[in-house]
Structure 1
Amino acid sequence: MEYIENDLLKIGVATHGAELSSIFDKRRNREMLWQADPAFWNRHAPVLFPIVGNVNKGIFKYRGKEYPMSSHGFARDMDFELLAKTDNSIIFVLKSDEETKKKYPFDFELIITHVLDGDTIKVQWEVKNPSENEPLYYSIGGHPAFNCPIYDNEKRTDYKVKFSRNSLKYSLIIQETREVDFENPKTLELNDGYLDIDAHLFDKDALIFDDYQVDEISLCTPDGKPYITMNCKGFPSFGLWSKEKVEARYVCLEPWIGRCDNKGFDGELPEKYCEQHLEPKKSRKTEYTIKIS
């Protein structure tokens, strides 16, 4: 684990998965990130690459070949190399090798940077295509889980989610196949932007918001005050998720570029929903932020 800190926060990032694993708020003297209790969910904030969610039937197709791919890809389960560390940043890198190319036939470099700036954590991804002549196709997403509630005498159902608009459309995942039921969107009606976290909100898994609907979102204490605010402007999809068990004391705010396949999708990787494309020798940077209020 690598740590950096300032007067307000101390954060820890693990070599394994380059995963943000601790956000300690010095003002509250409390941990704000979920601490991976395996009774509910044994991760903190995995980076989802080169796939977000599941591919239909557990395989993707590329140039006529089939490749097995596990949920959310493999980067979260690999050890990264520490590229650099400063007083306010930690930078890790993962590069393709012969093993990754057996299941994902592309050259890539994934650089993950965490920057501590006052009360805000900047999460930066840079995907590079080092190939001389082959394109790179990928999806990438965040999956940070935040403590909810943050005090012992409270319940998750006491808390609220605050959106930057008053009505959104969302889709659900078909549990048997892990496909997105995109043909049957539902409307999420909000009260001045607030959504109560009721006992049944996550009964059917994640709520998936497409079409750039979520650009800022907050987790709020029972009085409606934000304590976590994520800015993810420019991300095409977003997932809101926790275990359906009301005893699970966390909520995940998940900015995605790409997601699970649509119901019935049987095409090749470049045709996948919101699949990203990089030409040889090109790169792309993306950033979202986490503010602790």
Structure 2
Amino acid sequence: MYSLDNDHLHIDIAPEGAELRSLLSKADGREYMWQRDAAYWPKSSPLLFPIVGELKNGQYLFEGQWYKLPKHGFARDRTFAVLEQKPQEITFVLEADAESKAMYPFDFRLLLRYVLQGHTLSCSYELQNKGDDPLYFSLGGHPAFQLNLSNGKHFADYYLVFGKDHALTRYFLKKGLLDTQAEWQPLEGIRLPLRANMFDKDAWVLKDLRSSNVLLQNRQGDYRLDFQFSGFPYFGLWAPSGAPFICLEPWCGVNDTQQHAGDLRQKEGIVELEGNGRWRRTWSVTVGL
């Protein structure tokens, strides 16, 4: 396990998947990351790469050959090496190898960088295409933020604030695949109250958000988290039934649609990275203010 500290925050990261395991506010000792209880979900913040969500029939077609990939890809299950560590910054790296190329025939180098600055943790992804031909991928975050349900608090005491949206365009997942029909979800002003049954039909997949951040707060006023995700065209919300956390998921990519024919180049949300090119995105979370 690797750790970073500043005056306000402490974080722990596991080399397995370069997964964020702890985000602790020193002001009040509050742990903001879900602590991986398998009774609900044994992850805390997996990296989704080289796909987000599920493929139709678990496979995709590229240059006349079919390949199989598990849900959310393989990066979350691989051990990353530490490329560089400073007192308030650490960078992990995952490189293509024979195992990855059997599932994903591209020569890549994936960097994941965590940085502490004041009350803010930023998580940056950099993908490098080491080949001369275009590389096709999706990538996303899946951090789970623990809610304080002590002293009579409930899941329904929490709400999300989308500062620039008054309604959400929600797409449903059916057996792991994306339905192309959307549902218009009005907000209470700019608030989405959390409800115990809101994920009975699986995750919320949001498109066309005007907001590039969301606040997670509660009615008692003793919990506040500001999640920034500029540059991610899709956003997911999810929690298992009864779980004391919620996942805020910035995505560059999305599940296959039910109509998708399998060609990786034609997959919704797929990103094309030119030969020898680089791609970067960052999300951040501010707590303890």
* Normalised-by-shorter TM-score class: over 0.9
Structure 2 residue 258 is the aligned partner of structure 1 residue 259? no
Aligned to 2:162: 163
* CA 1:53–1:152: 2 relative to 1, 3 Å: farther
Corresponding residue SS for 1:45: coil
The match for 1:179 is 177
| CA deviation after TM superposition for structure 1 residue 37, in Å | 0.4
Tell me if the contact between 1:169 and 1:187 (Cα under 8 Å) persists in the aligned partners: yes
Please give the per-residue CA displacement for 1:169-211, whole angstroms capped at 9, x wherever unaligned: 1101003xx11112x2111111121111112111111111113
Aligned-pair distance for 1:224? 5.7
> Among 181, 185, 190, which residue is 2:187 paired with?
190
- 1:43-67: per-residue Cα shift (whole Å, max 9, x none)? 0000100000001110011011111
Whole-angstrom CA distance in 1 between matches of 2:64 and 2:251:
27
Distance 1:252 1:82 in 2: 26
> Normalized against structure 2, the TM-score is what?
0.96
**Alignment pair present for 1:238 and 2:235:** yes
Report the residue type matching 1:266 in the other structure.
A
Please say which of residues 273-282 and 112-121 is displaced more in the overlay: 273-282
The reply on whether 1:269 has 2:237 as its aligned counterpart is no
Corresponding residue number in structure 2 for 1:221: 218
Taking a change above 3 Å as real, the CA distance of residues 225 and 215 of structure 1, as seen in their structure-2 partners, is farther
AA of the residue aligned to 2:155: R
Show the 5 A alignment for 1:14-93: 14-93=14-93
The superposition leaves residues 81-100 of structure 1 with CA deviations (integer Å, 9 ceiling, x where unpaired) of 00001111010000000111
1:278 Cα deviation from its structure 2 partner? 1.2
Aligned residue identity for 1:104: Y
RMSD between aligned residues: 1.3
Structure-1-length-normalised TM-score: 0.95
Aligned pairs (5 A) from 1:111-122 = 111-122=111-122
Amino acid at match of 2:275: P
- What amino acid sits opposite 2:153 in the alignment? E
Match for 1:218: what amino acid?
L
Letter in 1 for 2:136: Y
- Contact 1:35 / 1:44 at 8 angstroms: preserved in 2? yes
Deviates more, 1:92-101 or 1:261-270: 261-270
How many matched pairs?
A: 287
Could you say which residue in structure 2 is the equivalent of 1:250? 245
User: Contact (CA 8 Å) 1:145, 1:250: kept in 2 or not?
Assistant: yes
**Equivalent residue, structure 2, for 1:148:** 147
Identity %: 36
Structure 1 pair 281–226 and aligned structure 2 pair: CA distance change class (3 A): same
CA positional deviation for 1:163: 1.1
- CA distance in 2 between counterparts of 1:130 and 1:217 reads 35
Does the CA contact (< 8 Å) of 1:13 and 1:90 recur in 2?
no
Contact 1:94–1:109 (CA<8 Å) still a contact in 2?
Answer: yes
Find the aligned partners of 2:149 and 2:26 in 1 and give their Cα distance.
Answer: 14
One-letter amino acid of the structure 2 residue matched with residue 113 of structure 1: R
**3-state SS in 1 of match to 2:60:** strand
Report if the CA contact (8 A) 2:15-2:80 is conserved. Answer: yes
